[in-house]
Amino acid sequence: MKRYRVGIDIGGTFTDLVHFDEESKKFSVVKVPTTPKKPAEGALNAIEKARIEFEDIYMLVHATTLGTNMFLGQEGLHPPKLALITTKGFRDVVEIGRQKRADLYNLFFEKPEPIVRRRDRYEVKERINAKGEVITPLNEEELRKIAGEIRNKGYEVVVVSFLHSYRNPIHEIRAKEIIEDECPNIEVITSHEIDPEYKEYERTSTTIVNAFLKPMMSKYLTALLDALKGRGFKGRFFVMQSSGGISKIDYAIKKPAAFVESGPAAGAVAVAYYSKITGDSNVIGFDMGGTTAKASTVIDHEPSITTEYEIGGKAHAGRLVKGSGYPVRFPFVDLAEVSAGGGTVAWIDEGGALRVGPISAGADPGPVCYGKGNTKPTITDANLILGRLGEKLGGGILTLKKDLAKDALSKLADQLGMSLEETAFGIVKLANTVMAKALRIVTVERGYDPRDFTMFVFGGAGGLHGVELAEELNVKSVLIPPRAGVFSALGLLLSDYRADKVRSVIRSAGDISEDEIERIYAELVDEAVREVSIENAEIKMIRQVDLRYKGQAYEITVPWMNDVEECVKAFHDKHEALYGFSSPDEPVEVVNLRVTAVGVMSKPEVKAEKDAEHEPKPENYRGVYFGDGWMNTPIYARNKLKAGAKIEGPAVIEDYDTTIVIPPNYTAFVDGYSNIRIVRD
Amino acid sequence: MDAVTIEIIRNSTEYIAEEMGIVLRNTAYSPNIRDRMDCSCAVLSAKGELVAQAEHIPVHLGSMAVGAKNVVEYIEKEGVEVEEGDVIIVNDPYIAGTHLNDITLLKPIFYNGRMLGFVANKAHHVDVGGSVPGSIGINAKELIEEGIVIPPTKLVKRGKLDNEILRLIASNVRVPKCTIGDLKAQIASLNVGTKRITELADKYGYECVVEAWNRSLEYTEKYLKTKVDRIPDCESEAVDYLEFGDELININAKIEIKGNRLRVDFTGTHEQIDAPLNAVFGVTVASTSFALKAVLDPDLPMNYGFFRAVEIYAPEGTIVHPIKPAPVSAGNVETSQRIVDVLLKALSEIFPNRVPAASHGSMNNVVIGSQTWAFYETLGGGMGARPTKDGVDGVHTNMTNTMNTPIEVIENEYPMLVLEYSLRDDSGGAGKFRGGLGIRRVYKVLSNAVLSITAERVKLRPWGLKGGMDGASGEHYVIKANGEKIKLSGKDTVTLSDGDVVVINTPGGGGYGKPEERNPYLVLGDVKDGKVSLSSAYEQYLVKIVEKDGELVVDFEETERVRGYGSKGD
């Protein structure tokens, strides 16, 4: 029976399962602890706990943080033995990187350790120039010698990356043949197959990250699928990409580096889907959990995408610090990250100033009020003292220890010479400022003004901060979707099939003909269609071209309009719109051609309940602290709110995995899809 | 006023400076600002005291603190009346604090008719005229040869751009379109800054913002003084050198700590010279700020409070505080690095566990071009070894942090082939912790061209610490098509013919601790990685490595014999 569509997201602490029942047309969720040593087991446990039959699942979409964990050196994950073969003179390209350091003032900084050690990097005589001409033929004899060494040293995967292979891959192709011939049991991956774009460091790095993840991901995914089949699963199995699209398992095995941020990508997909239901065209998705807050932007119901990503990289003020990780040049949902979450610690520095973060008590030991031994007050402790958070969470599963939180915060209050509630309120305000400023920077940087946006707030801690954060940003309205605590996982059920293909051409716009461009597009479309073809799916094909002024290092992407001149015109216009000027007399270069194939999947149909405006009755009242002091505040249970409910602030709405604070002068409305929209009076 | 409000206003002001930086980069014309991020933005009090600054390369750190205050004082002295909507332009390095290429714009913020403070930005313009393209030439004898000198002048008067002044500037530079585009971007950035500060005052009130700013300066001052107070009173001196022709140019520094006072004194430093290596006082201040911040506390918030807690004295007429009209264009790129070196050397006596051995100490500026094209890049080198770990190989250190140009970009854009880009084997100073390796970059030109190089540490090697050996010095040469090898001094301009090869070997970092104390397994690892040769392993580290069954292993018997007893393992 084709009854369930299931999404499973394996995170660091919890494995979330979301399923949609085609009979009842309803979503349900299940949370189980992640089983780090045997992640597949957690997935199976979740399905069992959801009480659905494996045979009834017709489609399962999977997301996992395993790829990221591999980079964090998680126990039990074994990195493969890798070798790199590159052009003579260039084996250190991957070690020097872009030559910059990620930390300006720290004299004890480290660059990310090269994934392939220098001793495992081999050079071979060959050279192709920027035009794609062979200026030094591949020295096959030398290569065979290297292949012999590779065989003897027990490497599992070999990466081949030669200069200008994006232009002419002939040497990489030949090298692969030779190594495969000499070493029949060793996997060979070439850079032009994985990332045929120019800039040697980024291309080689992307290829190496793939090689690094491939054996583990292939083993894991195959084992998971086998286990599912063993229990009777007969449906289709998909994996979520970092781009927010889903794909078949073979692509996930071929390019695992395109899947490392699958969980957060699903969150952005869920935001996009709900923004269509609610009719919001500019949305900031704000996801605040235990240790970090993440923000995505969704314009016209499409998540914003970037190709600048570094795995293992660090963020500062919401932005990725270049050079802090390993570049991976695939499409990623563009996420800004701030280290602020429920577990983030408040402290007083040597100069006597109050600071919030970046240290976090995480989920374990967690905030002081969890009673698991942490004594440093956190954002959650401040929310508890302010009455924003109730003492019983999850319908009574967890009881928070308010007295412990008070003790911890009193120490800070004494040092600051402020009252307990002023201190707690200060922590919340400061956390909101830090998050708001970081969000402002990342939206402004992408050319948007947050004032034009609606904010969708989710994640366990999102509802506590969303409204005040929005006020800092001058965002006009806040929307809390249903199941906010596991909202990200919901995106797994709402995605489309997607394949992205790119090719660098780097030619003057006047020098390249439409015919030549169409020829390359035809090849890219062919490759992309092969990846997304699935019965009955409608395929949308998006062709784009990256252009730039000659000599500049940044490109602008415009749609391909079957005419180079038209594209150049569109480029000038977009440059003007983005940067306030354009230079119609300057020569323009065609840098990359891009194809995105989207296989449109059917989506679960969410039905709206009829709404009728009414004022619901609160469950009870408690004192909650807002800027002007304590207020006796009504507390509502979210699961009892019906469509059309209207609640005036101050108020608190409690859900089983999140709490929503509505400050004075704000009103909340519940719509037919159980969304809560909060707007200023 | 409560601590939280102060912190919120301080934080907001820092982010306003950041946002100004984003607007500047997004609207700038030249790749120099957009991609290399050679720019900075700041918010200043009504007295011109630096409240917050967003900088992306350390050479701008704190230089605004000197520059902007000088401008405000200049305006007062000259009796210029500053009005709402004015924008002041200045690039005179003797006022604005770096070199002529860095043009500073400053705008007053009025709130309900009352002066609240200033916003300012500084950006490196690709050309400001002068005798050579790009305006930075090693042969300049006086400032005027390095480009147009602009004293503090109103470029915008009460919101109206003065086109006469703009034209005057545009007529004195080589790429006027670029200069005008970048100046307009700077103005756009100031306008956003003014707007945001006004919003901040709307929200918290004029008095509250002013007080919070004052309190954040006091905070930094107090924070730093508390830190300094905990250090026992002491004095430490050091000297290091720049290379100029056959001469060595000494830079002397003394650091004195007494109670909560910290004083840096450059007395004894070589007098200014008729070459662009002079570093204006603003550069000396930036370099000193970098060294102190990096050693005392990398997270220290930077504002004028820092300069209340630290006294920097550099005698006038020296290479670290020249008098007009000494040329200064390379003071920024090379002398700044040496000032950091000499201060780190002095600080290493006071904080032996916090200071690395000398890093490559040069930005290794390479310019290759002809009349129709020009390629410019700076190359990193080896970082000095640290008290607890090796120096980083092949990286930009201290006063700069710009990215390299990908080889595939160079070969697509310029008539050049890159023949090698690698780490220089054996260039890191030997030590218990090894100095970082320098970089080897080899270019072949495919047309006639001119090479101009400004590099340091060609004669003097980056020093080691605590028994660590010095890093390798820079070694640069041209190989002509006929095989002739021309050695370069580090400050050269050379004509190249089609097919000539330029070889740049940047210096390695100094080592830390005695090489014979290095763990033999680490030496073995370096040998396996080809970073240290077999002979250096034996001669410098006293570790004998031999091949056994096709694999390299340590010969402990021989190693113990040459090292003496107790050398096995760590």
B569 pLDDT band, cuts 50/70/90, is very low
Chain B, 71 to 100: residues with Cβ < 8 Å from chain A are none
Same domain assignment for residues B388 and B530? no
Among B464, B230, B264, smallest CA distance to B347 is for: B264
Q: Which amino acid is at A113?
A: E
Determine the Cα–Cα distance for residues A518 and A263; give it in Å rounded to an integer.
35
Same domain assignment for residues A398 and A417? yes
Eight-state DSSP code of residue A388 = S
Determine the Cα–Cα distance for residues B187 and B460; give it in Å rounded to an integer.
44
Contact between A40 and A230 under an 8 Å Cβ cutoff? The reply is no
Interface test with A, best of B407, B410, B424 (most A CBs within 10 A): B407
Same domain assignment for residues A544 and A636? no
Determine the Cα–Cα distance for residues A612 and B188; give it in Å rounded to an integer.
49
Whether A633 is in a domain gets the answer: yes
In chain B, residues with a C-beta closer than 8 Å to the C-beta of A327 are none
A555 pLDDT band, cuts 50/70/90, is confident
Q: Which of A212, A242, A276 is the last residue of a domain?
A: A212
The answer for residues whose C-beta is within 8 angstroms of residue B549's C-beta and 6 or more apart is none
Interface check for B223 against chain A (CB to CB < 8 A): the answer is: yes
Q: Do A430 and B7 touch (CB under 8 A)?
A: yes
Same domain assignment for residues A432 and A487? yes
Same domain assignment for residues A663 and A544? no
Contact between A143 and A171 under an 8 Å Cβ cutoff? The reply is no
Interface test with B, best of A88, A90, A94, A100 (most B CBs within 10 A): A100
B568 pLDDT band, cuts 50/70/90, is very low
CATH of the domain at A565: 3.30.1490
Q: Which of B222, B254, B286 is the last residue of a domain?
A: B222
Q: How many CB pairs under 8 A join A and B?
A: 189
Q: Do A437 and B11 touch (CB under 8 A)?
A: yes
In chain A, residues with a C-beta closer than 8 Å to the C-beta of B379 are 99
Q: Which of B2, B15, B220 sits opposite A440 (nearest CB)?
A: B15
Q: Do A447 and B223 touch (CB under 8 A)?
A: no
Among B395, A579, A559, smallest CA distance to A569 is for: A559
In chain A, residues with a C-beta closer than 8 Å to the C-beta of B290 are 105
- Beta-carbon count within 10 A of B256 CB: 15
| Max mean pLDDT range (A85-94, A626-635, B94-103, B135-144) | A85-94
What is the structure's pLDDT at A59?
Answer: 93
Interface test with A, best of B203, B422, B512 (most A CBs within 10 A): B422
pLDDT digits (tens, 9 = 90+) for A146-171: 999 999 999 999 999 999 999 999 99
Same domain assignment for residues B26 and B110? yes
The values of phi and psi at residue A655, to 5°, are -110, 170
Interface check for B306 against chain A (CB to CB < 8 A): the answer is: no
In chain A, residues with a C-beta closer than 8 Å to the C-beta of B11 are 430, 433-434, 437
Q: What is the mean pLDDT of the segment spanning A40-57?
A: 91
Whether B547 is in a domain gets the answer: yes
Contact between A17 and A72 under an 8 Å Cβ cutoff? The reply is no
Contact between B20 and B40 under an 8 Å Cβ cutoff? The reply is no
- Beta-carbon count within 10 A of B384 CB: 37
Q: DSSP letters of A128-172? A: E-TTS-EEE---HHHHHHHHHHHHHHT-SEEEEE-TTTTT--HHH
Whether B308 is in a domain gets the answer: no
Determine the Cα–Cα distance for residues A516 and B21; give it in Å rounded to an integer.
40
Tokens 């002013």, located at residue: B210
Determine the Cα–Cα distance for residues A11 and A292; give it in Å rounded to an integer.
14
Q: Which of A41-50, A157-166, A204-213 has the lowest mean pLDDT?
A: A41-50
Query: Strand A354-360 to strand A392-393: parallel, antiparallel, or no bridges (unpaired)?
Result: unpaired
The answer for residues whose C-beta is within 8 angstroms of residue A242's C-beta and 6 or more apart is A258, A259, A260, A261, A262, A265, A309, A330, A331, A332, A333
Give the HSE-up count for residue B255: Cα atoms under 13 Å, Cβ half-sphere: 27
Provide the Cα torsion A189, A190, A191, A193; round to 10°.
-90
Same domain assignment for residues B479 and B385? yes
pLDDT digits (tens, 9 = 90+) for B230-280: 999 999 999 999 999 999 999 999 999 999 999 999 999 999 999 999 999
A314 vs A161, residue with greater confidence: A161
Whether A435 is in a domain gets the answer: yes
| Averaged pLDDT of chain A | 91
| Region at A639 (left for phi over 0; alpha for psi -120 to 50; beta for the rest) | alpha
What is the structure's pLDDT at A450?
Answer: 85
Whether B244 is in a domain gets the answer: no
CA B453, B459, B464, B469 dihedral sign is positive
Q: How many domains does chain A have?
A: 5
| Max mean pLDDT range (A27-31, A369-373, A575-579, B462-466) | B462-466
Contact between A221 and A252 under an 8 Å Cβ cutoff? The reply is yes
Whether B306 is in a domain gets the answer: no
ipTM of the shown complex: 0.93
What is the structure's pLDDT at A362?
Answer: 74
Let me know how long chain A is: 681
Percentage of chain B beyond pLDDT 90 is 78
Same domain assignment for residues B483 and B539? no
Whether A201 is in a domain gets the answer: yes
Angle at B474 between CA B470 and CA B478, to 5 degrees: 155
Q: Do B394 and A200 touch (CB under 8 A)?
A: no
Determine the Cα–Cα distance for residues B382 and B509; give it in Å rounded to an integer.
4
Q: Do A353 and B3 touch (CB under 8 A)?
A: yes
Whether A302 is in a domain gets the answer: yes
Structure tokens at B390: 């090796």
pLDDT digits (tens, 9 = 90+) for A628-637: 899 999 999 9
- To the nearest whole angstrom, how far is the Cα of A185 from the nearest Cα of chain B? 22
Q: What is the mean pLDDT of the segment spanning A524-548?
A: 87
Same domain assignment for residues A195 and A90? yes
Q: What is the mean pLDDT of the segment spanning B85-107?
A: 95
Same domain assignment for residues B203 and B125? yes
Q: Do A201 and B8 touch (CB under 8 A)?
A: no
Determine the Cα–Cα distance for residues A202 and A165; give it in Å rounded to an integer.
13
The answer for residues whose C-beta is within 8 angstroms of residue B309's C-beta and 6 or more apart is B220, B221, B224, B225, B228, B260, B262
Determine the Cα–Cα distance for residues B281 and B289; give it in Å rounded to an integer.
12
Whether A614 is in a domain gets the answer: no
Same domain assignment for residues A238 and A250? yes
CA B407, B409, B410, B416 dihedral sign is positive
Q: Which of A436-440, A484-488, B204-208, B292-296 has the lowest mean pLDDT?
A: A436-440
Determine the Cα–Cα distance for residues B386 and B487; give it in Å rounded to an integer.
32
Whether A115 is in a domain gets the answer: yes
What is the structure's pLDDT at A349?
Answer: 84
Eight-state DSSP code of residue B437 = P
Q: Which of A495, A513, A536 is the last residue of a domain?
A: A495
Structure tokens at B497: 């013919």
Q: Which of B486, B512, B538 is the last residue of a domain?
A: B512
Contact between A277 and A490 under an 8 Å Cβ cutoff? The reply is no
Ordered strands of the A538-549 beta sheet: A26-33, A14-21, A4-10, A57-64, A236-240, A246-248, A497-508, A588-600, A538-549, A556-559
* β-sheet bridge partners, residue A414: none
- Residue B390, helix vs strand vs coil: coil
Same domain assignment for residues A94 and A49? no
Interface check for B549 against chain A (CB to CB < 8 A): the answer is: no
In chain B, residues with a C-beta closer than 8 Å to the C-beta of A111 are 392, 395
Chain A residue with Cα closest to B399 = A104
Angle at A569 between CA A566 and CA A572, to 5 degrees: 155
A205 pLDDT band, cuts 50/70/90, is very high
Q: Which of A91, A104, A583 sits opposite B422 (nearest CB)?
A: A91
Chain A residue with Cα closest to B425 = A92
- To the nearest whole angstrom, how far is the Cα of A1 from the nearest Cα of chain B? 55
Domain that holds residue A654: 620-680
Interface check for B428 against chain A (CB to CB < 8 A): the answer is: no
Contact between A141 and A108 under an 8 Å Cβ cutoff? The reply is no
Determine the Cα–Cα distance for residues B351 and A351; give it in Å rounded to an integer.
21
Same domain assignment for residues A12 and A53? yes
The answer to whether the peptide bond before residue A618 is cis (omega within 30 degrees of 0) is no
Interface check for B202 against chain A (CB to CB < 8 A): the answer is: no
Whether A606 is in a domain gets the answer: no
In chain A, residues with a C-beta closer than 8 Å to the C-beta of B404 are 96, 98-99
Same domain assignment for residues B159 and B94? yes
Domain that holds residue B188: 3-222
Same domain assignment for residues B422 and B463? yes
Whether B316 is in a domain gets the answer: no
Q: Which of B222, B406, B439 sits opposite A200 (nearest CB)?
A: B406
Q: Which of A350, A418, A552 sits opposite B223 (nearest CB)?
A: A350
Same domain assignment for residues B150 and B28? yes
Tokens 């200014």, located at residue: B272
Whether B317 is in a domain gets the answer: no
What is the structure's pLDDT at B307?
Answer: 92
Angle at B266 between CA B262 and CA B272, to 5 degrees: 155
Q: Is residue A361 scored above 70 in pLDDT?
A: yes
Interface test with B, best of A321, A556, A579, A586 (most B CBs within 10 A): A579
What is the structure's pLDDT at B310?
Answer: 96
The answer to whether the peptide bond before residue A650 is cis (omega within 30 degrees of 0) is yes
A605: burial class by Cβ within 10 Å (0-12, 13-18, 19+)? exposed
Q: Which of A542, A571, A600 is the last residue of a domain?
A: A600
Among A610, A670, A619, A678, smallest CA distance to A645 is for: A670
Q: Is residue B566 scored above 70 in pLDDT?
A: no
Same domain assignment for residues A503 and A362? no
Q: DSSP letters of A614-680? A: B-PPPSEEEEEEETTEEEEEEEEEGGGPPTTBEEESSEEEE-SS-EEEE-TTEEEEE-TTS-EEEEE
What is the structure's pLDDT at A383?
Answer: 97
Same domain assignment for residues B383 and B449? yes
Same domain assignment for residues B93 and B113? yes
Same domain assignment for residues A251 and A265? no
Q: What is the mean pLDDT of the segment spanning B390-409?
A: 93
Q: Which of B199, B222, B245 is the last residue of a domain?
A: B222
Whether A610 is in a domain gets the answer: no
CATH of the domain at A337: 3.30.420
Determine the Cα–Cα distance for residues A400 and A411; give it in Å rounded to an integer.
19
Whether B486 is in a domain gets the answer: yes
Chain B residue with Cα closest to A433 = B8
The answer to whether the peptide bond before residue B325 is cis (omega within 30 degrees of 0) is yes
Same domain assignment for residues B455 and B541? no
Q: Is residue B570 scored above 60 in pLDDT?
A: no
In chain A, residues with a C-beta closer than 8 Å to the C-beta of B411 are 129-130, 163-164
Whether B231 is in a domain gets the answer: no
Among A555, A547, A538, smallest CA distance to A517 is for: A547
Same domain assignment for residues B375 and B431? yes
Same domain assignment for residues A356 and A491? yes
Q: What is the mean pLDDT of the segment spanning A440-457?
A: 84
Same domain assignment for residues A278 and A412? yes
Q: Do A101 and B3 touch (CB under 8 A)?
A: no
Q: Is residue A225 scored above 90 in pLDDT?
A: yes
Interface check for B411 against chain A (CB to CB < 8 A): the answer is: yes
